[in-house]
Amino acid sequence: MVALKSAREIETMRRSGKITAKVLTDIMHAVRPGVSTRDLDRIAEEGIRGLGGIPTFMGYHGYPASICASVNAEVVHGIPGDYVLQEGDLLSVDIGTTLDGYVSDTAVTVGVGAISEQAQRLLDVTQECLMLGIAAMQPGNHLGDIGAAVQAHAEKHGYGVVRELVGHGVGTAMHEEPQVPNYGRRGTGIELRPGLVLAVEPMITQGDYRVKILKDGWTVVTADGKLAAHFEHTIAVTQDGPKILTLRQFGEHPDAEKYRPSEEAIV
């Protein structure tokens, strides 16, 4: 069953999303060679709690941290730890906050110091995939329109679209129905209606789309060892189109501004 959210619930999710976005911005500013992923996790936990939220990931199916920090061939769900970031790494940070019972979930991939042109291209295209997926979230469109838009853009650039992990509904739980694949066909799946809140999260690979899980039981890596990127937002479908609840002040694609929620009621 796919639950639609009331205007009031979406307002709460926007407040949750503002905390997540602010703390992710702080983390992005802290990323540089010499910083460990555990240092970033500490910024996340202290930042979220300092703003009155709860780190959603902590304890989720036993997950031991407040962020996922996935480096290079790691696609998602890397556990923060001793790893020290090096110039040229690609780092994906995924972060979630629960505020007043409502979750927001967002992720970015950034370069550590100077990165290769090819790596930058992967980041740019993956962020564009997210924006195109969001643009497809007009009321009256269908779920498959999101994945179709993401997939077409990634594959046009010769990249792989991870199949085994998908976006999802978001609400009082981080993962609600429906699943939101990053591949699919236009016009298929449920109709998108005002009040639907989704996490759209393209996971795009430089090579083959196949992935495997490391022995820690969490870290998802590309099977071929090539780079991956991951961008994610929590977005509400409204009568006025999609509204990004995790919009940041920093590092957004220019198109993201079109989807800024008004500070009024947003359904």
Residues that bind ligand MF3 (CB under 6 A): 57, 60-61, 63, 68, 77, 94, 96, 105, 199, 201, 232
User: Tokens 């010769």 sit at which residue?
Assistant: 158
Contact status: 27 vs Co ion (CB under 5 A): no
Closest contact distance (angstroms) between CB of 68 and ligand MF3 is 5
Buried b or exposed e, range 39-67, using 16+ CB within 10 angstroms? bbbebbbebbeebebbbbbbeeeebebbb
Site track 191-210 with Co ion (rule: CB under 5 A), x = hit: --------x-x---------
Closest contact distance (angstroms) between CB of 258 and Co ion is 22
Q: Could you give the angle at which helices 37-50 and 7-30 cross, rounded to 10 degrees?
A: 140
# residues contacting Co ion (CB under 5 A): 6
User: Which C-beta is closer to Co ion: that of 28 or that of 224?
Assistant: 28
How far is it, in rounded angstroms, from Cα 149 to Cα 160?
14
Contact status: 45 vs Co ion (CB under 5 A): no
CA separation, residue 90 to residues 21, 101, 109, 171, 199 (Å): 20, 32, 7, 30, 22
77 binds, among ligand MF3, Co ion, none (CB under 5 to 8 A by kind): ligand MF3
Q: For residue 235, which of 66, 106, 71, 91 has the smallest C-alpha distance?
A: 106
Closest contact distance (angstroms) between CB of 264 and ligand MF3 is 28
41 binds, among Co ion, ligand MF3, none (CB under 5 to 8 A by kind): none
How far is it, in rounded angstroms, from Cα 109 to Cα 70?
9
Contact status: 105 vs Co ion (CB under 5 A): yes
Q: Which stretch binds Co ion (CB under 5 A): 9-17, 91-99, 137-145, 205-213?
A: 91-99
User: Which C-beta is closer to Co ion: that of 199 or that of 236?
Assistant: 199
User: Which C-beta is closer to Co ion: that of 104 or that of 263?
Assistant: 104
- What is the DSSP track for 146-174? HHHHHHHHHHHTT-EE-SS--EEE-SSSS
Closest contact distance (angstroms) between CB of 60 and ligand MF3 is 4
Q: For residue 27, which of 123, 73, 94, 97 has the smallest C-alpha distance?
A: 94
Contact status: 176 vs Co ion (CB under 5 A): no
Residues that bind Co ion (CB under 5 A): 94, 105, 107, 199, 201, 232
